Amino acid sequence: MANHHFLRRLALTGAALLSVTATLPQQSARADPGYTDRPSHGRLSATIRYTEYGIPHILAKDYPNLGFGVGWAQATDQVCELANGFVTVQGERSRHFGADGQRDEAMSAASTNLASDLYFRGVRDEGSVEKLLAQPAPAGLSRQAKDLMRGWAAGYNAWLRQNRITDPACRGADWVRPVTELDVARRAYALAVLGGQGRVVDGITAAQPPGASAQAARTAGADDQARAAREFLSADNTDRGSNAVAFSGSTTANGRGLLLGNPHYPWHGGRRFWQSQTTIPGELNVAGGTLLGFPVIQVGHNARVAWSLTVATGVSFSLYELKLAPSDPTSYLVDGKAEQMTRRTVTVPVRGEDGRMTEVKSTQWWTRYGPVITSLGTLALPWTSSSAYAFNDPNAANLRMVDTVLGYGKARSVDELLDAVDRTQGMPWVNTIAADAEGHSVFTQSQVVPRITDDVTGRCSTPLGQQIYPATGLAVLDGSRGECDLGKDPGAVQPGIFGPSAMPTLKNAPYAVNSNNSAWLANLDRPITGYPRVFGDVNTPRSLRTRGGVADVKAMAERGGLTVDDLLKQQFANRVTAGDLAADDAARACSELPGGTATGSDGKAVEVSQACQVLAGWDRTANTDSKGALLFDRFWRRMIVAVPAAQLWRVPFSKDDPARTPNTLNTGLPAFAQSLADAVGELRASGIALDALLGDHQVVVRNGKRIPVPGGTESLGVWNKTEPVWDDRSGGYTEVAMGTSYLQAVGFDGSRCPVARTLLSFSQSPNPNSPHYSDQTELFSAERTLRGRFCEKDILTSPGLRVEYVYER
């Protein structure tokens, strides 16, 4: 009980914090308790100080207790989303919601609950996560990471026991249950494989050997195969993205680093960000955002370093083409010797529409390379009597992201942050961009990717691989030859991946920026080249968001004297890159249409002369008060679907001018007039004026209140990305699927208190009964941010300060 009183006093007085820091242990000395599937019942506690907008500042004496506080605080805001995710990773969705009931899109790309359960039950039955937890660090997790997971489960469980659920999404639901530290680890595992096995769950669970009379399948042409692979790997087909930029001291007003982090993530579901500060005095003090169910802050800052993450272009998996043994399609040959596939039979309980329970059994087939699959999106990978394909995902052996971001939180400089990622090598599918108080900056694509070198592809690519690897970075290797094994890279913590020396990295450039294209143009004047194709491409057209972003930050760096305020101006400039490139051309061509009319896709003539004037007068932004942004948005979406990228612009791409090419809209195509006519007709049919304010028709509705939302979709090239959902019935955008999420603009002034402005666009809680259901969403609408409260003096002077001492009873 002495520690309880100690931390309570510590929470309430800044002087106490200074006087007792030195007496606290540097790390927990608790012995490893092992991992079980029984809920934890330890005696853990934490102090949570809530400041404005429901942001918790969690204070604990060691890692188990810190994990306890994080689990408790996340449950307070997000219990239903968390519980739903645990049902998923336990393989229990079909039991509770039926095989075809409501899916959980946060944990995988499974198309049905049954496919999801077959996969995650397979992971559970195989003990995949337990095996990773049994490995010693650095290949496995540190004691501190395990303590955080154990504490998180205990905190979540304690909250369930001591509180009543008010969120109607799960109030009274029998699927809200206590969890174990293994469940927390399984959730981290699902996050690690999200870009690999998680994307091909349907292909894994549906793969079955052919019958005895099976014939060789007809394959698509080479161009079609390459196109299907590109579509599967396209960033447009994911619900993850981000921008981040780090400025070195040479560009800033005080010679210290600046960081703007702007992850683009779902606004709903189990992959939302959540904001907090976590503190173990004398050991760890970090503020930022983390994905639900994760026990460590993933993007954020401490007193000396700020960092953010962007989704990387590295292809985090590869394929092996198997040569099957004669007369046995479940055996494959390696160097002429047959190896039997591993048969995994998985049983899933399924609730029928009448409420009765049945069981579904299914078999999955695994090889030394990974599971057999039969498709990647629309790319068919047929399992015939003579060949099959196996999926190699090195992140299926990686739980290390917990330790990587824990190391980021402890780092005192950019160099120490790089040391952390080099030591742990846990980033599964993201880049890291960081700046520090001494004026240093870095971009690094330090992610887990298969060790696909030019030598390997030269020796081992199959005909399919020779077609798609150069275009996509997806390798298809010959699984019948042992020499095509990926081997061990010097410095790598696990076999088959690249070590730290191979990672594309840029240090101390005036700026380093990434908007989800490859590492090539992290800086226009210092392009990164020479990395294997599996990491990404070079000398190819960039997305409009990348082009607009890199041009903007280059201009900022050249102007110099930058401050946190300049970062916020960039975040909320809402410049529509597509508008800058195409709106003048569109308005001019519109005004030249005969009779001021254009023919729509239905063959009817539409009067468009007013649209010409609106496009000409539009300010080229996606601000909520912009007139013409909605019209251009609806036109542009149609135009890019109707016209292949190679025909959209009159001036082609030049690798010598990648930020400004291609350009000049090809308005002579029939699709131009048709797209314009259809956009005008759609808005008029919905009763929306062509010059309507964007904020009148791009909104979210929270407890009956319409909240205007700034920003624009990916194809518009807006830094402040917003992916709104169009309502065909009423017209207009009435929800946001994903986009700007946890925003941070961080600088340093020489004190121990960083200069930070933050925002969580969708607010802390999805519970409509929470006071923090939409409070930050209204700030986002107004393009306002929160002052960071990192130091004790700032926390304790918050006008909304509320202190909770939470513990197991």
Residues serving a catalytic function are 242
In sequence order, the 6+-apart residues with CB closer than 8 A to the CB of 684 are 690
Return d(Cα 381, Cα 360) in angstroms, integer: 25
Q: CA 544, CA 40: separation in Å to the nearest integer?
A: 49
For residue 146, the SS3 value is: helix
Q: How many CB atoms lie within 10 A of CB 131?
A: 11
799's tokens: 């006008």
The span from the first CA to the last CA of the chain, in angstroms, equals 12
Looking at residue 450, the DSSP 8-state letter turns out to be B
Counted residue by residue, the chain has a size of: 809
Name the H helices within 163-263.
Answer: 181-192, 201-206, 222-233
Do residues 418 and 501 touch, judged by C-beta distance below 8 A?
no
Residues 6+ apart with CB under 8 A from 556: 247, 251, 511, 562, 566, 570
The strand pair at 55-59 and 45-51 is best described as antiparallel
DSSP assignment of 694-747, as one string? HHHHBEEEETTEEEE---B-GGGT-SSBEEEEE-TTT-SEEEEEEEE-EEEEEE
Residue with the two structure tokens 């005036």: 510
Q: How many helices and strands (H and E) does the chain possess?
A: 24, 34
Alpha-carbon Rg for the chain, nearest whole angstrom, is: 27
Beta bridge partners of 497: 450
SS3 content of the chain, % helix, strand, coil (to 5): 35, 25, 40
The CA distance from 334 to 343, in Å, is 18
Distances (CA, A) of 551 to 35, 243, 257, 511, 546: 50, 13, 20, 11, 8
3-state secondary structure of 12: helix
Q: Token pair for residue 630?
A: 């909605």
3-state secondary structure 309-376: EEECCCCCCEEEEEEEECCEEEEEEECCEEEECEEEEEEEEEECCCCCEEEEEEEEEEECCEEEECEE
Measured CA to CA, the distance from residue 71 to residue 58 in angstroms comes to 10
Count of CA atoms in the C-beta half-sphere (13 A) of 667: 19
